[in-house]
A and B are shown apart, each in its own frame.
Chain A
Amino acid sequence: MNFYNEMYDANGGVREHYKGYEAWLKATPGERIERKRAEADLAFHRVGITFAVYGEEAGKERLIPFDVIPRIIPSAEWKGMQKGLRQRVTALNMFLRDVYHDQEILKAGKVPAEQVLNNAQYRPVMQGVDLPGDIYAHIAGVDIVRAGAGECYVLEDNLRVPSGVSYMLEDRKMMMRLFPELFARHKVAPVQHYPDMLLEKLRAVAPTGVSDPTVVVLTPGAYNSAYFEHTFLAQQMGVELVEGRDLFVQDEVVYMRTTQGPQRVDVIYRRIDDDFMDPLAFRPDSALGVPGILKAYQAGNVTLSNAIGTGVADDKSIYPYVPEMIRFYLGEEPILNNVPTYMCRKADDLKYVLAHLAELVVKEVHGAGGYGMLVGPASTKEQIENFRQLLIAKPEGYIAQPTLALSNCPTFVEEGIAPRHLDLRPFVLSSGKCVDMAPGGLTRVALTKGSLVVNSSQGGGTKDTWVLED
């Protein structure tokens, strides 16, 4: 397979937007870069920018490898992406509003009703609940990949609790600390205002009538894989980081327990899945959530961000219908491409998928984090046969997509600089008044040669992402 290279064109020439960086890389002694890489590792460790990996020794933390070669996006291309992201996230929020109110899109037959209403991520408790600004996904982490000859595709919409934005910010900080001269030479669009933007959005969606809302970040606790990010965002926004046990509900109002007595909470940026939010409404065994919080939410006394029930819009079985949503709600043609998707619940699609397992990527409909997926071309016969059994047993649990020839970018690895595959996760913020994002996003890179899985839990690393201003 031929892969699109972010830095070099098909003839080996350096792409225009990488020329400055490439010249610097050539002129900089390898040992200096090596020294800087070691410095970065040390700093990340000391600062404790780590993540926990499930399945490994409890409480064990790893660094997410950081690569010093940035991923560069020219301004014009970013503008196009930005426009496409605004359009897509706007439509997704309208879809959620519609699903939990009049369900026009289902009545119009544009999205099969049973796919929505029987979806495990559909939350009947949200039916008829009005939310400030009609926004459900205040924060979306849309995964974009470049494939083929350079065209971009949206891979996933991530409307529940997308993570990674702290790495976007820390990578930039690290890059500026290690190589300040690069930033003197390039006009790199800044991203450090992201926490301010986030706080502004969260304040904007406070319950009606609250003029100076108390915002908190809700974390499952110190052993969660993204705990670093939770503390980071709370600190950067200057708000409290709370756990479920710090909150309680009285008369449908949420309070936090403080050293000076109970204090009312208005907006909760929650990093806990729906299922664990309220043991009285969802999983009764959840010790992470807050009993009674759903009632307070339904009464409009607190805003949850993201809303309960957003998963019904980023579910892989709903993903194929996003272009249809854009046409239905906005009357526009989608700017960003969807990846062609086979829905295994359809007999024809299943037949095709089973016949082409070795070429396809098969994903669990409700899966996330790179767990429970099959990358056909990279799998052994045995793995493929195992997956075949899974598919036959439960076809509705899977979708399949062609294996995209993900673009790659020069990356430092053991044997020197070599191309590695990557994706991009811009973080899109919505408040009802506007849709904003920090330029670029988080670039994740698969460090294993040939691997197409960029998730940090599967050995992925990150790069600083530069949007070059004109």
Chain B
Amino acid sequence: MLSRTADHLFWMSRYIERAENLARLLDVTWQMSLVPQSLEAANQNWNAIIALNSLEESFAKKYSEVNADNVLRFMVSDPDNFASIYSCLRLARENAHAVRGTVTAEMWETLNSTWLEAREKTFEQILNGGVGEFFEWVKMRSSLSRGTTLGTLLQDEAFHFIRLGTLLERADNTARILDVKYHVLRPHGDEGATDFYQWGALLRSVSAFEVYRKVYRDVITPERVTELLILRKDMPRSLHFCMNGVVKNLDLIANRHSDETARHAGMLHAQLHYSRVEDILAEGLHPWLTDFMDRIYALGDGISRDFLVPMAEAA
């Protein structure tokens, strides 16, 4: 497969997954903001989203104040913000466009019509229709895209690069959501009462509320939420689950340059496989997640170097 084709496939799946997770993050923040709280606390939640994506500077250029309306506008439908849902859907479609001969007609049509519909929605229309409904729509479109991929695409190299993109992006995004929410909910470690609604909203944002009930059959505690989202290998949005898939797909596309990247992926996977939640919390969740995100980033870099960016011309 052409390196450029693999690159487009990888980023196509990353951007649609990113749009989905951003919708999830915004959705949970929106829901949390509905629980009675001080304005200051509410705005702190919105600010965390900007900080999480390192967008303080570009946000400040256009908006004077961090509040629900501005952050939503910026992250949902601002075409100038390359990290907005709008931009992610556009970039997913653009990458698909470049490889529309490689993906199936259904996959291309899904991403193309997602973009065509997104383009028609103004922020005011989204607000009027209810932002929650819009986030649901984004999640459904992402599911549809994943579904057409699983249901129609030959499981060859193209498929593996798409899965790699999806899982790597999801691992990063789940870590981010957990990091930002944990930080806001428990700024000083694990003292104080657990806020059922806030933790419930966090679980719902990764479609894990019912999963939690099923797995633990007990009250919601931050430790278990952490365990579920990081260490459960059968929870499809957990870091362990994602790394399982990353290692497997990397193995299937291995070439003679990729040993080192595979080794790093394997080490990260092993760490998730054999860690205990007590140890992670003892180290401090925030530093642990920061380290994890750095390593995910390095992994993406390695994949790019080994497979996607045109390699040295020597035959």
Contact = CB atoms under 8 A, between A and B. Distances in A.
Given A222-B97, A222-B98, A241-B101, A261 B157 contact: no
A29 B2 CA distance: 50
A396 interface: no
Contacts of B315: 250, 255, 261-262
Interface string A123-156: 0000000000000000000000000000000000
Contacts of B227: none
Interface in A240-281: 240-243, 245-246, 248, 250, 255-262
A48 B3 contact: no
A375 B101 CA distance: 39
B6 interface: yes
A46 B97 CA distance: 13
B186 interface: no
B108 A259 contact: no
Given A240-B2, A246-B3, A248-B313, A260 B255 contact: yes
Interface stretch (A8-16, A230-238, A295-303): A230-238
A243 B7 CA distance: 13
Contacts, number: 69
A97 B315 CA distance: 35
Contacts of A58: none
Contact of B256 (A234, A235, A241, A261): A261
Chain A at the B interface: mostly helix, strand, loop or mixed? mixed
A333 B307 CA distance: 58
Contact of A235 (B101, B255, B310, B311): B101
Contacts of B184: none
Contact of A245 (B4, B97, B161, B313): B4
A184 interface: no
Contacts of B116: 45
Given A48-B108, A255-B315, A261-B256, A246 B4 contact: yes
A234 B99 CA distance: 11
- How big is chain A's contact interface, by range? 20 to 34
Given A240-B2, A261-B311, A262-B313, A48 B100 contact: yes
A222 B101 contact: no
B310 A245 contact: yes
A259 B160 CA distance: 12
A269 to B, nearest CB: 13
Contacts of A222: 94, 97-98
A250 B315 CA distance: 9
A47 interface: yes
Interface in A176-221: 221
A155 B256 CA distance: 55
A15 to B, nearest CB: 38
A45 B116 CA distance: 10
B100 A257 contact: no
B298 interface: no
A240 B101 CA distance: 9
Interface in B142-171: 157, 161
A257 B4 contact: yes
Interface string B249-260: 000010110000
Contacts of B108: 47-48
A248 B313 CA distance: 8
Interface in B1-28: 1-6
B109 A46 contact: yes
Contacts of A262: 313, 315
Nearest to A261: B255
B112 interface: yes
Interface of B: 1-6, 94, 97-98, 100-102, 105, 108-109, 112-113, 116, 157, 161, 253, 255-256, 307-308, 310-311, 313-315
30 contacts: A46-B112, A47-B108, A47-B109, A48-B97, A48-B100, A48-B108, A48-B109, A222-B98, A231-B100, A231-B101, A234-B101, A235-B102, A240-B2, A241-B102, A242-B4, A245-B4, A246-B2, A246-B310, A250-B313, A250-B314, A250-B315, A255-B313, A256-B2, A257-B2, A259-B1, A259-B2, A259-B3, A261-B255, A261-B315, A262-B313
9 nearest interchain CB pairs?
A235-B101, A231-B101, A257-B310, A259-B307, A257-B3, A234-B101, A262-B315, A259-B6, A259-B1
